[in-house]
Amino acid sequence: MEIKEEMTAETAMKTPQTSTETRIDHVAAPTRVPLLDMERELGPLMADLVEATARVLASGRYVFGPECGELESSIAQYCGAEFGVACASGSDALLLALMALDIKPGDEVIVPSFTFFATASAVTRLGATPVFVDIDPATFNIDPHLVEVSLTARTKAIIPVHLFGQCADMDSITQLARQHGIFVIEDAAQAIGARTGDRSAGSLGDLGCFSFYPTKNLGGCGDGGMITTSNEALASRLRLLRGHGMHPRYFHQAVGINSRLDTIQAAILQVKLPHLPAWTRERQSNAARYDQMFRVAGLDQVLTLPMARDGYHHVWNQYTVRVADQQRDALRLYLSAAEIGTEIYYPVPLHRQECFSYLGYNDGDLPDTERAAGEVMSLPIFPGLTEKEQQTVVDRIARFFFGAEATTSSSPARPKYLTGKGAARENTATS
């Protein structure tokens, strides 16, 4: 299965049409490159996946069967945590983590605005207030210095997101949390296997939340989630809350939710987990190859390439470039015409979403987040992506900026849009 999303008509209408239409006319014989191709990942494992699924079907234990417990142990070990607690989704993992910490109305939880919606929606579902904090523009992760100035007497937790597969600055964040008696919940939905030093995502805070949505580095054939912790009391509380607060059967100690992992998903994930390190190495190789190709093509002059911090093990759930000078949407439309998959994570920051307007944030309140939302674009980086496909992506981007005569093996031409007044911006295009 291939996942690809075209630009909307509304976005296309906001794109400079004259120059873009000319460029699209020159796109000939496109070589299709999907944003994600699940068949390449699943194909070699198909026999094992069918066997595992058939075993579950024959057992009749379709919810929280033995495979679920095995997966909990496997994920906990993989992340360097003592306990794993499976649930129905990454969104539920965040909600359950907050519930286990007794987050309630009147409490504040610090979150980044540049993240998927579930990071903040879990907070509001419990009546608490999300406090949005700006990012480090180099890593897209929450800025610990701005976290510190956002702390109040009502702050009960911080949710750093390990965005795109790179851990946030957890040393600084956990130090702040210890000083102020605040819990830390890692949103590691995109970062299974990521490390800072010798410690893995999911073992860096009080709780770690993972998603097994199919597009994740370790994805199921449906939805699923996991919470990791080394606190036995929290693990017990999470198990209680995920099953309606029920223990023993039909005796309810708390008001929980219904968030159960299907046994079939656990069995599928157990088949895939041993392959995750190899898939991660492929993603890392793809990222390094993109870096080299873009620099050879001179595209590092017009794009800001993603970076991995020293001492950090980046697992590259996304390879996200920044396109300055309001060229992002035009470039995406051009690549779409060449059947090259891209996505924008995320076009509207959470603090500017309509549902959070009651919090009173305005344009300019989180400038680095807002700038990122207008510039980022993610490119194909999945395991199985070929060098030829990557070269096609780079060549098409080079044509967009440098014209049809551009080749990635020669010195780059001057970007066509950097003329007149635009030339004065040449040295700041990748700042």
pLDDT for the residue numbered 411:
43
Give the CATH number for residue 362. 3.90.1150.10
| 74 and 217 share one domain | yes
Angle (CA) 116-122-125 rounded to 5° is 135
Best CA proximity match to 302, nearest among 318, 322, 319: 322
pTM over 0.85, yes/no: yes
- Residue 85's SS3 state is strand
| 118 and 234 share one domain | yes
C-alpha to C-alpha distance for 407 and 390, rounded to whole angstroms:
14
Low-confidence ranges of the chain (pLDDT < 50): 1-30, 410-431
pLDDT for the residue numbered 31:
78
Domain stop point among 232, 257, 274: 274
| 135 and 199 share one domain | yes
| Three-state DSSP string of 191-241 | CCCCEECCEECCCCCCEEEEECCCCCCCCCCCCCEEEEECCHHHHHHHHHH
| 241 and 100 share one domain | yes
| 10 and 123 share one domain | no
Amino acid at 256: G
| 236 and 194 share one domain | yes
C-alpha to C-alpha distance for 243 and 256, rounded to whole angstroms:
6
pLDDT for the residue numbered 414:
42
For strand 108-112 and strand 207-211, is the pairing parallel, antiparallel, or unpaired? unpaired
| 195 and 294 share one domain | no
Q: Hey, which residues does 262 pair with through a beta bridge?
A: 63
Domain stop point among 239, 274, 309: 274
| 414 and 342 share one domain | yes
Give the residue numbers spanning the domain of 327.
2-38+276-428
| 255 and 287 share one domain | no
Give, in order, the Cα–Cα distances in Å from 363 to each of 81, 182, 277, 330.
40, 29, 41, 23
pLDDT for the residue numbered 406:
62
Q: Which two tokens stand for residue 157?
A: 């937790």
| 202 and 133 share one domain | yes
C-alpha to C-alpha distance for 173 and 164, rounded to whole angstroms:
18
Q: Rounded to the nearest 10 degrees, what angle do helices 328-337 and 17-25 cross at?
A: 30
Residue 359 is classified by DSSP as G
pLDDT tens track for 140-175: 999 999 999 999 999 999 999 999 999 999 999 999
| 304 and 265 share one domain | no
Give the CATH number for residue 145. 3.40.640.10
Number of domains observed in the structure of the chain: 2
- Ramachandran area for residue 73 (φ above 0: left; ψ -120 to 50: alpha; else beta): alpha
Amino acid at 126: L
Domain stop point among 274, 305, 333: 274
Best CA proximity match to 44, nearest among 258, 264, 263, 278: 278
| 289 and 390 share one domain | yes
Q: Which two tokens stand for residue 55?
A: 């075993």
